[in-house]
């Protein structure tokens, strides 16, 4: 019997009492450490070697099951991603049930069931426990890893990787991982399009067959169930799970660099930099320094607004909205990381201030009041965590898995309140390494890297791509001498139907559909020559937002209210967007286009064209060298991919008869032409990729002027 979990009586915060006559200029002495009374948990081992931990809590008729494999991380190499896919796809079908049947069964009993690469979690009302366990056992023992589901996940992931290239935070995370842990360590591996190409169902099955064994598994049961019942159901549903040998893995322990280094990755056209200062740390769960380090980090930049990084960079300097730091615990290797996002022009000043705060904590003792504030905050945080059954399960699992003292969590607050100012400084001296850190910046390559050289002990900045690999410039082939920007654009205009034919468009209506969070989104564009625009975005049958431009004013209706513009960036952007056939007459609007070369885009050779707006904003357009069609655009904020060009019929006047022919009644003949428009568009919106399908295009349908009136 071991004591832990399920708080019965928990006095959370220090009770500081003062009377009306108290001297408020004197801060009261802290009270004794809050008392925690924890219920017991029991463990037993099944014949197949699985360790079961039971935490009884009969206050609510709910029971949860958390399965965790105690295995070493797996180095995935050129197929990075397959381990996570193996965990995800376990739930996607078994020898006895399809994915749909599993989903329906879970929904019917109102349960939760999720799988991952090191186990699964499931929860339901106690009365549905047998149904839930039957599902769990089937998923655990009989997964089939459907090929079509793997392909779907790979496609989704591949699309997400496109968004990574324009997400400075994701770029900085990738570079930080590869540089802190190294390319030969599992924690330094990053999924790329190349690794996705090497993932197969066979790899998923091999991972499952190798590592999913009961003799390395823990099952934590929390809720309305006792030990005897737990033994009965575990033997009934999981006794057939066969044990086996599971390989162990060891890796070199990453070390902080001998000297400070700077790693930079480009986020095209960024006006802000994401800054990470990081390095590896050895700090396993239950380490004698763990609680003291947590307090020290909270003073520096943990989850409190009073953290020094926040106070310095936000409150004092006004550089950022937020700045944080953390040191995580991990049985293999941990990592220190300080992070913020700032304007390009203050990137170097921000790094100076972060290093200053790290050094200040090493060289100067913290304030006693500062320490107490953090201890009070962490006490309350610990209290709130005990409300979750999954937290209770985690505590029990950690004690068993990491061989922690039986009273580790019961005495947590006692150890927390015992941390002193001297302890904080010792931890800073031991674990903060400003001179052996890796400064990672993702941002504007034209403005920032030169300002970072002074932080590197070698006066050099190392460059990386969005996935943390050493930067290799894209291979840009020279354009043949007879190809000019006019050639590329004219080929494009010819490919979509001819520049002259587009001049006959007087109005156009275009409907696109996509889905977001399970809801169908419909976007309808209305345009009328020369420069009227209306865009409606609807969710289901409800129009959620409307954008209008009537040639003089712009207005936006949204759930946030109504905004009207007659000048400014939004006005200018909508004014430019409203112009019919703008790209065919781009010079008239002060737009410059320059042919940069030929680049490989998604397996196709494409002409790379730089586009500069009248305000100097840059975007890139790519035109397929074979078809002439535009296939991609990139801007600092997003990207779009265009495919599935389809013809749309347009009737226009043919060659006008002579005067004499018209005199004798001959009419101008009509001719049919076809204009091509992309019907599939992948568009990045912030951090999400929307797959848009064009469902309707109508040309010259006679849109009324009233449609574009601003009310």
Listed in order, the ranges of the chain carrying CATH 3.30.830.10 are 48-238, 261-375+411-464
Q: Give the mean model confidence (pLDDT) for residues 175-181.
A: 97
Mean pLDDT to the nearest integer, 421-443: 97
Span 568-573, average pLDDT: 82
Angle at 82 between CA 80 and CA 87, to 5 degrees: 135
For the ranges 42-51, 299-308, 661-670, the lowest mean pLDDT is seen at 661-670
Has domain 261-375+411-464 been given CATH number 3.30.830.10?
Answer: yes
* Token pair belonging to 26: 């004197």
- pLDDT for position 142: 97
Best CATH choice for the domain 48-238 from the list 3.30.830.10, 3.40.640.10, 3.30.200.20, 3.30.470.20: 3.30.830.10
Q: What is the arithmetic mean of pLDDT over 393-421?
A: 90
Lowest mean pLDDT among 52-61, 346-355, 681-690: 681-690
pLDDT over 80 (residue 423): yes
How many residues does the structure list for the chain? 711
pLDDT at 361: 97
CA proximity to 630, closest of 493, 478, 474: 493
pLDDT of residue 36: 61
Strand partners, 646: 677
pLDDT of residue 557: 86
User: pTM for this structure?
Assistant: 0.79
Q: What pLDDT does 560 receive?
A: 81
Over residues 668-673, mean pLDDT: 75
Angle at 599 between CA 593 and CA 604, to 5 degrees: 115
pLDDT value at residue 16 = 27
Which of these, 191, 69, 70, 198, lies nearest to 140 by C-alpha position? 69
pLDDT of residue 691: 87
**What pLDDT was estimated at residue 326?**
95
- Distance of alpha carbon 572 from alpha carbon 554, whole angstroms: 9
Q: Give pLDDT, residue 7.
A: 29
- The rounded distance, in Å, linking the Cα atoms of 613 and 572 is 11
For every residue of 384-446, DSSP letters joined together read HHTTSHHHHHHHHHHHHHTT--TTTTTTHHHHHHT--HHHHHHHHHHH--GGG-EEEEEE-TT
Q: Tell me, what's the pLDDT at 637?
A: 72
Residue indicated by tokens 């934590």: 220
| Mean pLDDT computed over 487-510 | 93
Q: In the predicted model, is pLDDT for residue 10 greater than 80?
A: no
- Cβ contacts of 684 within 8 Å, gap of 6 or more: 162, 163, 166, 638, 639, 640, 690
pLDDT of 573 = 83
pLDDT digits (tens, 9 = 90+) for 27-55: 445 555 555 655 678 999 999 999 999 98
261-266 vs 112-116, strand pairing mode: unpaired
pLDDT in tens, 672-707: 889 999 999 988 766 677 889 999 999 999 999 989
Q: With cut-offs at 50, 70 and 90, classify the pLDDT of residue 364.
A: very high
Q: According to the CATH classification, is domain 485-708 in 3.20.20.70? A: no
pLDDT at 167 over 80: yes
């Amino acid at each position: 019997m071991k004591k832990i979990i399920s708080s019965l009586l928990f006095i959370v915060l220090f009770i500081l009492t003062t009377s009306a006559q108290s001297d408020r200029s004197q801060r009261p002495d802290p009270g004794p450490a809050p008392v925690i009374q924890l219920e017991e948990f029991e463990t037993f081992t099944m014949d197949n070697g699985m360790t079961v931990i039971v935490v009884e809590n009969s206050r609510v008729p709910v029971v949860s099951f958390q399965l965790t494999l105690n295995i070493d991380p797996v180095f995935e190499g050129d197929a990075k991603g397959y381990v996570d896919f193996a965990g995800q796809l376990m739930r996607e079908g078994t020898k006895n049930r399809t994915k749909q049947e599993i989903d329906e069964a879970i929904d019917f009993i109102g349960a939760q069931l999720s799988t991952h690469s090191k186990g699964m979690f499931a929860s339901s009302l106690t009365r549905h426990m047998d149904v839930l366990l039957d599902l769990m056992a089937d998923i655990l023992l009989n997964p089939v890893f459907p090929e079509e589901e793997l392909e779907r996940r790979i496609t989704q992931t591949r699309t997400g990787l496109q968004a990574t290239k324009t997400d400075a935070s994701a770029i900085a995370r990738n570079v930080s991982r590869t540089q802190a842990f190294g390319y030969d360590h599992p924690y330094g591996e990053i999924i790329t399009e190349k690794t996705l190409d090497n993932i197969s169902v066979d790899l998923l099955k091999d991972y499952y067959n190798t590592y999913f064994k009961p003799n390395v598994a823990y099952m934590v049961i929390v809720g309305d169930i006792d030990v005897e019942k737990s033994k009965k159901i575990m033997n009934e549903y999981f006794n057939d799970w066969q044990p086996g040998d599971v390989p162990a893995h060891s890796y070199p322990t990453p070390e902080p660099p001998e000297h400070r280094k700077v790693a930079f990755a480009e986020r095209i056209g960024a006006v802000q930099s994401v800054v990470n200062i990081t390095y590896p740390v050895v700090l396993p769960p239950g380490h004698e320094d763990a609680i003291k380090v947590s307090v020290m980090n909270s003073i520096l930049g943990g989850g409190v607004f009073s953290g020094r990084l926040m106070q310095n960079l936000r409150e004092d300097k006004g550089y950022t909205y937020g700045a944080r730091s953390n040191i995580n615990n991990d049985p293999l290797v941990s990592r220190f990381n300080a992070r913020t996002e700032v304007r390009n022009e203050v990137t170097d000043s921000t790094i100076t201030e972060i290093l200053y705060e790290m050094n200040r904590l090493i060289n100067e003792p913290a304030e006693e009041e500062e320490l107490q504030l953090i201890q009070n905050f962490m006490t309350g945080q610990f209290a709130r965590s005990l409300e979750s059954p999954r937290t209770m399960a985690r505590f029990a699992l950690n004690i068993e898995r990491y061989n922690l003292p039986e009273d580790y969590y019961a005495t947590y607050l006692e150890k927390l309140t015992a941390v002193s100012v001297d302890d904080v400084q010792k931890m800073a001296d031991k674990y903060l390494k400003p001179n052996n850190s890796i400064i990672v910046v993702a941002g504007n390559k034209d403005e920032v890297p030169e300002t970072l050289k002074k932080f590197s002990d070698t006066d050099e900045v190392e460059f990386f791509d969005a996935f943390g690999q050493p930067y290799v410039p894209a291979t840009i082939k020279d354009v043949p001498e007879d190809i000019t920007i006019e050639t590329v654009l004219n080929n494009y205009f010819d490919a979509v139907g001819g520049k002259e034919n587009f001049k006959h468009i007087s109005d156009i209506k275009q409907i696109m559909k996509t889905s977001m969070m399970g809801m169908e989104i419909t976007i309808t564009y209305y345009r009328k020559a020369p420069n009227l625009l209306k865009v409606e975005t609807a969710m289901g049958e409800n129009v959620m937002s409307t954008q209008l431009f009537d040639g003089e004013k712009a207005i936006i209706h949204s759930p946030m209210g109504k905004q009207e513009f007659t000048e400014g960036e939004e006005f200018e952007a909508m004014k430019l967007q409203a112009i019919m056939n703008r790209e065919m007459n781009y010079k008239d609007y002060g737009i410059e286009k320059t042919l940069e070369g030929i680049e490989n885009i998604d397996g196709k050779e494409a002409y790379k064209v730089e586009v500069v707006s009248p305000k100097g904003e840059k975007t890139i357009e790519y035109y397929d060298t074979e078809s002439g069609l535009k296939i991609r655009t990139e801007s600092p904020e997003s990207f779009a991919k265009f495919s599935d060009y389809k013809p749309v019929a347009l009737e226009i006047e043919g060659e006008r008869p002579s005067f004499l022919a018209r005199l004798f009644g001959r009419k101008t003949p009509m001719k049919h032409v076809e204009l091509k428009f992309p019907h599939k568009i992948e568009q990045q919106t912030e951090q999400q990729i929307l797959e848009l399908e064009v469902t309707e295009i109508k040309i010259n349908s006679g849109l009324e002027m009233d449609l574009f009136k601003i009310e």
